[in-house]
Structure 1
Amino acid sequence: MSQVYLNGAFMAPQEAHISPMDRGFLFADGIYEVIPAYNGVLFRFDEHLIRLERSLAEIAIHNPHSREEWRHLCETLIERNGGGNLSVYLQISRGATEKRDHAFPNPPVAPTVFMMTGAIAIPAADSPDTASGSKAITLDDIRWARCDIKSISLLPNSLLRQQAVEAGASEAILLRDGFVTEGSASNVFVVIADTIITPPKSHAILGGITRDLVVELCRSHHIPIEEREIPENQLRQADEIWVTSSTKEIVPIIQLNNAPVGDGKPGQVWKKVARHYVNFKRRLCGQDQE
């Protein structure tokens, strides 16, 4: 039976109860992280924790654990859920208060810490020669101005993703003032004339761990890559489009707004980067990914 973690204890999911006065429930006042593990090995753990620490600091929530304590909790939860290929979801809210008030509680209350795991499907990057690719649509970026904070306030993202699903696509690529920001749950890359381009980090996008690793791998393997703004017309004319996330890794987009991207198949640059990504992952976490 699966287990979750809540405020110091491991338990069955149906035994986990959170106060309705919790500010995560009332105000979406909290931060989350998703950390993949392959063969039970946490992938890019330090990078994920650095982002978690930054997001907590940005909204002034006390970090309840040291980095090593977080590692121990994550590894214990993975073990209690059978190991293998799992994602660890962890969420920290500002905690439960006696009354509903927009202002932060003073004095502060103890944060609420919740963790659970989920299965990771075999990513497309693991089989680049047989991957089929995904579809996306473009939508206006209706989210707030601090998308660099990994907030649990995800209603705009959910609305955008649902529009994509209803249009028969797997992702929405977002546009703000005529430029690409990111996907509803991913970062975006395009390939134009064999050069990879991704939007630079700013308050308008979440600094993705997979995004950063793709940039790092491209530079270490001398694959041309630029971090710069992508106008909408360049997105529509791109030879390749990819989206990246921690659990789906690097996904080729073969159709945008019902029009083929390139020749309508995963591109050669994507295949090259996917192989580098998988090789890196297997060196870190072991060979058996299935």
Structure 2
Amino acid sequence: MSRTVYVNGEYLPEGEAKVSIFDRAFLMGDGVYEVTSVLGGKLIDFAGHAKRLARSLDELEMPHPLAEAELLEIHRELVRVNGIDEGLVYLQITRGAPGDRDFVYPDPETTTPTVVLFTQAKPGLADSPAARRGMRVISIEDQRWGRRDIKTVQLLYPSMGKMMAKKAGVDDAWMVEDGAVTEGTSNNAYIVKGNRIVTRALSNDILHGITRAAVLRYAAEAQMEVEERDFTIAEAQEADEAFITSASTFVMPVVEIDGVTLGDGTPGPRARRLREIYLDESLKAAI
């Protein structure tokens, strides 16, 4: 069946959706995006995603084409018409197609952004087999641009990282810069030492994860220590546990790093517990 998608104020069959070839996201990667998970037909952490979207737009001096309430209405309508019980809603806002190709972008007051949303059904998103077995990761050099805190559509190097992991026969890659782990290709990275959760502090070097913020809050409430600092691959390999967080994987245990098995090679108790807490609390707060 064809999905219904949203393009610039219209709900359309996906086969009828069109965007100009002069759109700056197509020509320049000039756009931002958010991905909101759907569980039980409801949106997870929508307010956090809307807030980060606004920040990304501001950092790129792009107009805000829709208010948060309007975005919420569109998300809910797409979930409804596409019958999404478990899955994702992808939202992308670009600077639009103001004219012919030019490196210099126009005054935001005279620009009409392009707004696109679509859904992806992901049955079994909450009860993931990967969460039961744990992920294996490799380390790669972080070669991205310096503003990783802005959630842009410039995803070529993360895609290359995913492919490096696939060719190595593992699940994902952790990126390393100046000897320290920054983050995964599409997720924030953590290690566990005793009762302490260690993850890189927020800066321009990493994405300010919405799931990250919630998980660190739940960890503190569960009497786990939280330490925000850099860590190396060698330190990670000596950790008791490791895990990642993202909107589409929630809390996902990591059981192997660069061929070194963590613990007994199965998901650790703190990662499992944080996943349980996150899913329980998120479903209670879902809208």
Q: TM-score range by the shorter chain?
A: over 0.9
Inter-CA distance 83–124: structure 2 relative to 1 (3 Å threshold): closer
| 8 Å Cα contact 1:37/1:87 also seen in 2 | yes
TM-score of the two chains, using structure 2 as the length reference: 0.94
Gaps of 5+ in 1: none
Q: CA deviation at 1:121?
A: 4.3
Counterpart secondary structure, 2:37? strand
Inter-partner Cα distance in structure 2 for 1:246 and 1:140: 24
- Alpha-carbon RMSD across the aligned residues, in angstroms, is 1.8
Residue 68 of structure 2 is matched in structure 1 by: 67
Residue 85 of structure 2 is matched in structure 1 by: 84
Residue 225 of structure 2 is matched in structure 1 by: 224
Superposed, 1:49-198 pairs within 5 Å as 49-106=50-107, 108-123=110-125, 131-198=132-199
Inter-partner Cα distance in structure 2 for 1:39 and 1:15: 29
| 8 Å Cα contact 1:125/1:275 also seen in 2 | no
| 8 Å Cα contact 1:21/1:96 also seen in 2 | yes
| 8 Å Cα contact 1:125/1:271 also seen in 2 | no
Deviations for 1:236-260, whole angstroms, at most 9, x for unmatched residues? 2111110111011111111111221
Between the two proteins, the alignment pairs up a number of residues equal to 285
**Deviation above 4 Å: which 4+ runs of structure 1?**
123-128
Inter-partner Cα distance in structure 1 for 2:7 and 2:171: 32
| 8 Å Cα contact 1:4/1:115 also seen in 2 | yes
Q: CA deviation at 1:192?
A: 1.3
Task: Verify: 1:265 aligned to 2:266, yes or no.
Answer: yes
Inter-partner Cα distance in structure 1 for 2:216 and 2:230: 15
Residue 255 of structure 1 is matched in structure 2 by: 256
Residue 19 of structure 1 is matched in structure 2 by: 20
Q: CA deviation at 1:115?
A: 0.4
Task: Verify: 1:244 aligned to 2:266, yes or no.
Answer: no
Deviations for 1:156-175, whole angstroms, at most 9, x for unmatched residues? 11111110111111111011
Deviations for 1:174-231, whole angstroms, at most 9, x for unmatched residues? 1110111100011001001231111110100001111111101011121122111113
Counterpart secondary structure, 1:175? strand
Q: CA deviation at 1:123?
A: 4.2
Question: Identity across aligned pairs (percent)?
Answer: 34
| 8 Å Cα contact 1:126/1:275 also seen in 2 | no
Q: CA deviation at 1:126?
A: 6.7
Inter-partner Cα distance in structure 2 for 1:197 and 1:125: 25
| 8 Å Cα contact 2:146/2:205 also seen in 1 | yes
Residue 201 of structure 2 is matched in structure 1 by: 200
**Paired amino acid for 2:188:** N
Counterpart secondary structure, 2:215? helix
**Paired amino acid for 1:118:** Q
Inter-partner Cα distance in structure 1 for 2:277 and 2:55: 28
TM-score of the two chains, using structure 1 as the length reference: 0.94
Residue 283 of structure 1 is matched in structure 2 by: 284
